[in-house]
Amino acid sequence: MTNRIAVVTGATGGLGTSMCQALVDQGRTVIGTHLPNEQATAQAQDWQQTMKSQGYAVELYPLDVADYEGCQAFVQQVEADHGPIDILVNNAGITSDAPLKRMEAGQWNRVIEVNLNSMFNMSRQVFEGMCERGFGRIVNISSLNGEKGQFGQCNYAATKAGIYGFTKSIALEGARKGVTVNAVSPGYIDTKMVRQVPEKVLDSIVAGIPVGRLGQPEEIARAVTFLTADEAGFVTGTNLSVNGGQYMD
């Protein structure tokens, strides 16, 4: 398989880690991003060392995906350091939950900026080059809650639903150029963040999943590597739901 440069935003979280590992196993040169603050940088350094000890060489760059000019500079730097980006996984995202009647404008705007604007900010930098070279894979990470909605998450659900329209539109633009664009919508996955949910709440969540368990990060990563494979050129403009049957559309 051709060695290709893959970028994963939000690389150091539970899902991002598994995606990076799976892409390395797929034979890719993997570049990850983390938030550009002191605490995140220190955590990223520890993460990088742990990954390296496990046999996964992933270079990390600081990046605020909500910053268009920052994304532009990041892509320019990665391509200067490593070569053209062939695979982009738009994984970075945040939550800031509240019922609509209590949601502040700042909560709404920041989630939109990070979860949805980032799709444009990053894809805009790599899409044209992918089309010119005749190969590209973009995978946008959405969510179960973008498909069905969720109480107290109108901002988050709106961004994750918006990803579908963005994905389908640019999939049409890249289809004849060898560039595929797809979405993956994870359900409830066994990550550190989910495990922090109170036990009774978590039990009720699992009870609503037909397969009877949380998903594993590796299961999302397998979906990503399926869609980023060189052989996946006939799959574009679609959403792959990985949710244990919790929502069937």
Q: Which residues are marked as active site?
A: 156
27 contacts 202 by C-beta, under 8 angstroms: no
Degrees to nearest 5, angle at CA 205 with 160 and 192: 70
Distances (CA, A) of 244 to 91, 192, 213, 221, 227: 20, 19, 8, 15, 19
Largest CA distance in the chain: 52
Do the beta carbons of residue 7 and residue 33 sit within 8 Å? yes
Neighbours of 53 (CB within 10 A): 8
C-alpha to C-alpha distance for 52 and 59, rounded to whole angstroms: 10
Number of neighbours of residue 173 by Cβ within 10 angstroms: 12
**What is d(CA 75, CA 126) in angstroms, rounded to the nearest whole number?**
8
Six-digit token string for 70: 């920052």
Secondary structure element (H or E) that encloses residue 180, with its range: strand 179-186
Contacts of 92 (CB under 8 A, 6+ apart): 9, 10, 16, 33, 65, 114, 115, 118
